[in-house]
Amino acid sequence: MELTAWEKVKLARHPKRPTSVKLIKEICPDFIELHGDRLFSDDHAIIGGIGTLNGQPVTIIAEEKGVTTEEKIKHNFGMPHPEGYRKALRLMKQAEKFKRPILCIIDTPGAYPGIGAEERGQASAIATNLRDMMGLKTPILVIVLSEGGSGGALAIGVGDHIMMFENSVYAILSPEGYASIIYKDSQKADVAAQLMKLTANDLASFGVIDQIIKENEGLHVDPDFGIQELKKALIENVKRLAKMKTKLLLEQRYQKFRRMGNFLEKGEPDESST
C-alpha cells in the first residue's frame, strides 16, 4: 500500500534512519574529511572531504544531523551556518580544479536561522553557492537522503543528476511551517504535507529530480539495500557524466534549472526549453 505524504515525512525523520556519516562510510570507505571555510570556523553541520568511489576520486559534501544527543548538538541538528556553505563551496572549487566529480548529500530541516548566522551572511552564502555551483566545470550529483528543507538544502542542491531515496522528502519548508502559515495551525501538518507535493514520486513526476532510489522496507529497517542501490546509481552516473564535454555538461545543467524555474512559476513545464 502506498504511504501518504505525511507518513513519508515521519519515515524521513525516523530516529533509526542512517545519516550521511554512515552513507559516506559505505560508499567511500577511504573518505578523508577536510575542515574549515578559511574565513571564520569549521561548521560541523556540513561534512566535506575526498574519497574514491569504485576507484574514481570524488569530493563529498554532506549535511549531517547526528545520531546521539551529543552528536546532534555538535552537528546543530543538520542546520548549517554560512561558514558551512562557504566550506562546501571551497571544497567544490577544489574539486573543479582537480577534475573530481562532486557528490552532495542533502539531509537538513533548513539552514540555521539564528542571529549569528544572519549576521555572518546566511542568505548571501546560500545565494553564492547557487550561483557558483551552476558554473562549476565538473559533474555534480545530488542525493536527498532524508529531509531536504528550503534554502538549506538548495545551497548544495544544484546538480547534473538529482536523486532522492524513496522515503525522503524535499520542500520549501517543513509541513509544520507550511500549516502554520496557511492554516494558522501547525497541527494540520499532515494535510499540508499532501498539498506540498514533497515526496520523491511527486518530484520525479514534475521533473524536479531525475531518479528515485528504492529502499526495500525502509532505510531504518534495511539500510544496506538502499545504500547499495545508491552506490550502483552513483557509479553509473559518475561514469556517464565524466564522459560528457564540459560545455554540454554546463548547458544541460543550466537548462535543467531553467525548466524547473519555469515549472514553479507557471505550474507546468516549459516545452520551449526542452
CATH of the domain at 47: 3.90.226.10
Does residue 213 lie within any of the structural domains?
A: yes
Q: Which residues pair with 169 in a beta bridge?
A: 147, 199
pLDDT at res. 265: 57
Domain containing 56 equals 5-243
Does residue 255 lie within any of the structural domains?
A: no
Does residue 270 lie within any of the structural domains?
A: no
Does residue 191 lie within any of the structural domains?
A: yes
Q: CA 168 to CA 147: how far, in whole Å?
A: 6
Q: 61 — alpha (psi -120 to 50), left (phi > 0) or beta?
A: beta
Does residue 258 lie within any of the structural domains?
A: no
Dihedral angle of Cα 224, 230, 236, 238, to the nearest 10 degrees = -120
User: Is this prediction's pTM over 0.85?
Assistant: yes
The structural domain count of the chain equals 1
Does residue 22 lie within any of the structural domains?
A: yes
Does residue 42 lie within any of the structural domains?
A: yes
**Average pLDDT of adjacent 10-residue blocks, the chain of 274 residues:** 90 95 96 95 97 96 96 96 97 97 97 95 96 97 95 95 96 92 94 94 93 93 94 96 96 89 55 39
pLDDT at res. 267: 53
Dihedral angle of Cα 66, 71, 73, 79, to the nearest 10 degrees = -30
Q: Which three cell numbers stand for residue 68?
A: 546521539
Does residue 252 lie within any of the structural domains?
A: no
